[in-house]
Amino acid sequence: MRKLICLLLSLMMLFGVSAMAETAAEDLFTPGTYTGEAQGIFSPITVQITVSANKILGVSINAKGETESLGGLAAEKMSEAILKAQTPNVDGLSGATVSSDAIREAAKSALLQAGADLDKLDANRKDTGAAGEKQEKEIETDVVVIGAGGAGMTAAIMLNQAGADFVIIEKMPYAGGNTTKATGGMNAAETHYQKEQGIEDSTALFAADTMKGGHALNDPELVAVMANQSADAIDWLDTIGAELPKISFSGGASVNRIHAPEDGSGVGAFLVERFSAKLDELGVGIMYDTTATELLTDDEGRICGVKAEGEEYLYTFRCKAVILATGGFGANEAMYTQYRPDLKGTVTTNAPGATGDGIVMAQALGADLVDIEQIQLHPTVEQTTSILITESVRGDGAILVNQSGVRFTNELLTRDAVSAAELEQEGQYAWIIFDQNLRDHLKAVEKYVKSGITVQADTVEGLAELLGIDPEVLAKTVNDWNGYVKDQRDPDFGRTTGMNADLTTAPYYAIKIAPGIHHTMGGVKIDTAAQVINTEGKPIPGLYAAGEVCGGVHGGNRLGGNAVADIVIFGRIAAQSVLDYIK
């Protein structure tokens, strides 16, 4: 991944023209250096702009508090863009909307201090009409991996280690896709970590749990492969420095099976960072800002190329095989409402690149689709920011209450069940309630507090008042719950997990949440060798797919921990199949 470490960006791109030397009939600015500030997602962002009488000479953006978002990358891109356009009204970075808006706002404030007329700057913008036609470029390679999320990066590492000739392209200016957002861990059975920790498990039980969780809609052969190869995948992750030794319980699993990083960080961000480091070490460069638009086949229907659009070039890759690792379509409202009109207007937790391109490109070659209407809602999404409140918050003891201040479900049922229960409440939302003790033990909560989505009070009654809930009712709900934790029995909804700690440590916290689109379970049909299957039941020669772009593994409901298993296991299988094919 392009490093986001450039958080203190001092991109003073001073042109070789001094303020003194410039002359203009009508001045745009009072020469000097000005600083504007606006609130980002986690911190204030400052933009320092140096101007001559009629030119923006330098832009320096400090987004150092935005470490956990893409704010750093937004700062880098937007400082260049403002210089080029000579106006603060430039495009932001998709996936970093709040940081991008803050950068624009801070830049405007700085320029207003310099006496600028912002409308005039827009009218005179300098970045239009200059781009010209993109040039065509042909590249010969054996394999094109499309998409640098978890599945694509796994495949790329495998291909490199086998000495294959390949390129990996990514349409965003950064890697990671939805994978970055995975918080829990990776399900795997019969692993050496489980054995070392005395956990008895079996691949058969893993497969059975996955089928049950998926309402038996899953393809049992794909599920069996995932379960059988899961321990090997954990071993492989060890070899590339991506160890997942911490094992815990996750909804729908019969035993402790979800494997996570030692330091408690989110599994997705951890893996993307480790995969990126490995690719760097191997000398594999990802072609960013390069969007695959079409798959090419020869007269016999075999894959022979990919068309893609980059910032400067229109590429034609001539290749023998393609691995589609383009992820799902949870960020494409037109596409998910095509299959599920009832989801119109639902917010999404998905990365902006999850637009279903791979599915559409494969369909154009006759690929079959499976379970395409199976879309998973995550029950705890803050609606104004789309921040997903990780399941661990409920797993560590939080409860859900409605606007009347009462619980309405076992909070740790499967995601589809909890989401459905929320949608039955007045206003179709709920409040997730937790305490300081939970905050102290769960790293993720800091992010929520910093981003301003939590409501906080020193007493439960005080919290209720801030939420517009009857204080007596909420106090009774929390008191009752604390009693259930003590007795380890929930007579109201039969909850049996996430009951290790009560809610008695002030201050108390609440976040307003509702369901959001989280994972698209359906996608292109693959066989157990990750070959894409067409509507006649035959493989499309040279076309392989792995990860969220595929359907079949998760059926009607994906268990937490199975997305990462899917990515790593089928990413590896796709690479191995391609290696066999191109031989």
CA distance 455 to 247: 31
Q: Are 371 and 340 in contact (CB under 8 A)?
A: no
Does residue number 169 form part of the binding site for ligand ADP (CB under 6 A)? yes
Candidates 156, 142, 168; CA nearest to 282 is: 156
* Region 316-345 residues binding ligand ADP, contact defined as CB under 6 A: 325-327
Site for ligand ADP (CB under 6 A): which residue of 86, 178, 374, 562?
A: 178
353 counts as binding ligand ADP under rule CB under 6 A: yes
Which helix (H) or strand (E) segment is 168 a member of? strand 166-169
| Least distance in angstroms from the C-beta of 522 to ligand ADP | 13
Task: For residue 370, give the 3-state DSSP assignment.
Answer: strand
12, 60 Cβ separation under 8 angstroms: yes
Question: Which one of the spans 176-184, 202-210, 248-256, 492-500 is the region binding ligand ADP (CB under 6 A)?
Answer: 176-184
Work out which of 4, 57, 146, 303 binds ligand ADP, going by CB under 6 A: 146
Please, what's the b/e burial string for 105-140 (b: 16 or more CB within 10 A of its CB; e: otherwise)? bbbbbbbebbebeeeebeeeeeeeeeeeeeeeeebe
Q: Which of 57, 188, 354, 381 binds ligand ADP (CB under 6 A)?
A: 354
Minimum Å gap between C-beta 548 and ligand ADP is 4
Q: Is 137 helix (H, G, I), strand (E, B) or coil?
A: strand
Peptide bond into 539 cis (omega under 30): no
Q: Which residue among the candidates 257, 394, 415, 558 is catalytic per the annotation?
A: 415
Q: Where are the alpha helices (DSSP H) in 86-163?
A: 97-113, 118-123, 150-161
Span interacting with ligand ADP, options 150-158, 253-261, 509-517, 553-561, rule CB under 6 A: 150-158
What is the helix (H) or strand (E) element at residue 192, kind and residue range?
A: helix 192-196
Contacting range for ligand ADP; rule: CB under 6 A; set: 145-153, 204-212, 406-414, 442-450:
145-153
Instruction: Give me 29's structure tokens.
Output: 């600015």
- The nearest distance, CB 199 to ligand ADP, in angstroms, is 26
Which residue, 325 or 478, is less far from ligand ADP as judged by CB?
325
Strand pairing category for 246-248 and 258-260: antiparallel
Asked if 95 interacts with ligand ADP (CB under 6 A), we say no
CA–CA separation, 534 and 15 (whole Å): 56
Known catalytic residue at 125: no
Select from 164, 126, 127 the least CA-distant residue to 144: 164
357 makes contact with ligand ADP (CB under 6 A)? yes
The least distance separating ligand ADP from the CB of residue 309, rounded to whole angstroms, comes to 9
For the window 116-135, what string marks contact with ligand ADP as x by the rule CB under 6 A? --------------------
Considering only 43, 60, 109, 179, the residue that binds ligand ADP (CB under 6 A) is 179
Among 149, 397, 523, 539, contact with ligand ADP (rule: CB under 6 A)? 149
Per CB under 6 A, 291 contacts ligand ADP: yes
**Dihedral of alpha carbons 298, 302, 303, 304, sign:** negative
Q: How many residues bind ligand ADP (CB under 6 A)?
A: 27
Question: CA 350 to CA 348: how far, in whole Å?
Answer: 5
Is residue 292 a contact residue for ligand ADP (CB under 6 A)? Answer: yes
Shortest Cβ 526–ligand ADP spacing (Å): 12
351 contributes a contact to ligand ADP by CB under 6 A: yes
Binder of ligand ADP out of 77, 104, 171, 518 (CB under 6 A) = 171
Residue 172 near ligand ADP by CB under 6 A: yes
Strand 303-309 and strand 291-297: the pairing is antiparallel
Considering only the stretches 156-164, 250-258, 295-303, 542-550, report the one whose residues sit in contact with ligand ADP under the rule CB under 6 A: 542-550
Q: Is 187 in the site for ligand ADP (CB under 6 A)?
A: no
Q: Which of 40, 58, 72, 177 binds ligand ADP (CB under 6 A)?
A: 177
- Angle between the 150-161 and 267-282 helix axes, to the nearest 10 degrees? 30
State the Cα–Cα distance between residues 44 and 342, nearest whole angstrom.
38
Q: How far is the CB of 134 from ligand ADP (least distance, A)?
A: 16
List the helix and strand counts (H, then E) for the chain: 18, 23
Amino acid at the residue 311: E
Name the one range near ligand ADP by CB under 6 A: 90-98, 202-210, 352-360, 368-376.
Answer: 352-360
Question: What is the number of the residue whose Cβ is closest to ligand ADP?
Answer: 149
150 forms part of the interface with ligand ADP (CB under 6 A): yes
Paired sense of beta strands 44-51 and 56-62, if any: antiparallel
Q: Which is nearer to ligand ADP, 203 or 350 (CB)?
A: 350
Residue 148 touches ligand ADP, criterion: CB under 6 A = yes
* Residue 262 beta carbon to ligand ADP: minimum distance, rounded to whole angstroms: 22
Q: Please, which residue, 72 or 353, has the CB nearer to ligand ADP?
A: 353
**Cβ proximity of 244 and 259 under 8 Å:** yes
Q: Residue 146 or residue 579: which is nearer to ligand ADP going by CB?
A: 146
Instruction: By CB under 6 A, tell whether 186 contacts ligand ADP.
Output: no
Q: How far apart are CA 470 and CA 534, in angstroms?
A: 57
Hey, what are 134's tokens? 């993109």
Q: Which is nearer to ligand ADP, 372 or 510 (CB)?
A: 372
Using DSSP bridges, classify how beta strands 313-318 and 321-324 pair: parallel, antiparallel or unpaired.
unpaired
Nearest-angstrom CA–CA distance, 164 and 157: 10
Given the structure tokens 């259930």, which residue do they identify? 484
Residue-by-residue DSSP string for 511-525: EEEEEEEEEE--EE-
Shortest distance in whole angstroms from residue 194 CB to ligand ADP: 24
Residues lying near ligand ADP in the complex (CB under 6 A) are found at 146-152, 169-172, 177-179, 291-292, 325-327, 351, 353-354, 357, 547-549, 567
Give the residue numbers annotated as catalytic, written as ranges.
Answer: 415
